[in-house]
A and B are shown apart, each in its own frame.
Chain A
Amino acid sequence: MTLTLKISALTKTFAGVKALDAVSLDIAPGQRVALLGHNGAGKSTMMKIILGLIPYDSGTVEVCGGRPGAPAARAQVAYLPENAAFHPALTGQEQIAHYLSLRGESPKLAMDLLERVGLHAAARRRIGTYSKGMRQRVGLAQALIGKPRLLVLDEPTSGLDPVSRRDFYALLDGLAAEGASILLSSHALTEVEARTDRILILSGGRMVAMGTLADLRRTAALPVAMQVTARNGYISELAAALPGAIRVEGDLRLTCAQDEKLPILARIAGFGDKVADIEVVPPSLEDIYSHFSRRDGQ
């Protein structure tokens, strides 16, 4: 199986500052990869290099088997820019028809595409009258043109409401199932959870983490929080057995490292009926994300 995207040791410097520092990444057909990072972490720079819009300093980048930005690569790659913008004097339908022609497809398909992103009702209105979310949908519609092999989506869900966001990911699932590779960027880990196969975190131009959500959880090894509710009268007995636990309004709260989690649970289970309830809170996605992206003292 040939890789859709192959990047190794990619480095890009802007005026002496390293925007990307030896970043490597492979994406196979059908894979969905999320690129996370703060503003200025290098997400957009990396995407623009993959699209062939800006040159890079060193390393290798291979897009669909060719040079980024080469006509063959451009024919197979779709892009959704951050804050997608279009000419305000054209209607959604005219704009998509234009993009279809540029990709050598029939402009008559415009309505179908707009229907797929739920914009058919406004298709004959000028884009100047659209809201940010509607413009984002026009951007998404143009990214669907002509079965691209790689979709590069720069913060695709910004400006979308939660329902549209879910529709959007459903659309991506369908594309990935048909073999398209997807690289999307986002600010928030919560947003890409369970919707991507792999997560990649950039910080200050360096790749600080890569893997599935479970991998990241394991590597971060953040403490687990527990909340134990004792039956009436037994709280002191429980507290004595769980060093480090704090009493909060009749409950016991404690945190422990990942590898201590099971022994502690076993000990609590040993109390049998004396325990009314127990809740285990794994580290949140936000916690994991900040753990990685703050490693460089940011």
Chain B
Amino acid sequence: MTLIETRHLTKDFGSVRAVDDLSFAIEEGKIVGFLGPNGSGKTTTLRSLLGLVTPTDGDARIRGVAYSEISDPHREVGSMLEASAHPARSASGHLRVLAAESSVPKGRIEEVLDLVDLAGAADRKVGGYSLGMRQRLGLAGALLGDPAILVLDEPANGLDPEGIRWLRGFLRGLASEGRTILISSHVLAEVAETVDEVIVINEGRLVTHAPLKDLTSRPAGGKVRLRTPDLVRFEIVARDCGLEVTERNGSSVTISGSNQEAIGQLAHEHRIVLHELVSEGPSLEEAFLAMTDPTQEVSR
């Protein structure tokens, strides 16, 4: 069942097109990374989804309806757009206000503060919080209504490595509860260990929407590294077959434009002993950069 969907979503701010004919659908129970460089239209897309920005064309829907048509939105969709709260208000005060707006029982406030490890700082003013603590407070607010759908805009932004590690574990926990999560980031590594799928956009346009593993198994960026005691003969054979040796290191070489199976077969046919044969797909970061770099041809 499709829970989150954009259809030909387009948004112009004056002469600037922030989102350009963007269509994607997210199925129930999926954890989806929404990726793109800064300024690629991620936040505008999420704000359109949440009814804060009116699309110039197309639409964005949750469970088939516009956000504004959801009768009890906080219980349906939890969102974290900015880690924003009045600096002179305590965390518990901030959450009490959010709870009162949505008629969420007060008891839930303690639960979510525990979930994000902020129970000990609940009565401190938010202005004295670190960025990581404010991000966690934002997550607590998103979870207040115990929603099945979460929309998180750059929750790892500004977090230190410890904070990012905490966030990964936290998101994995939410994922295990069967929630549908759309999480944006401009750094693939932040979400790579958590998401099932990725939607990559650049300059407001869809670049790819695919399972995470597909990103790294694309042949265009694939390399095979092998180690053999008969390196000179292998290189001759490889060149005769039109393969490109891109790196050489002692008894190892790296071949581009082929795959593990084909190289293994080639070595076997020429009775060349292999001590090592490793497929080296592009790293996630390389794949992401390749897709969002306008100077490179994109594999879609």
A and B bind = no
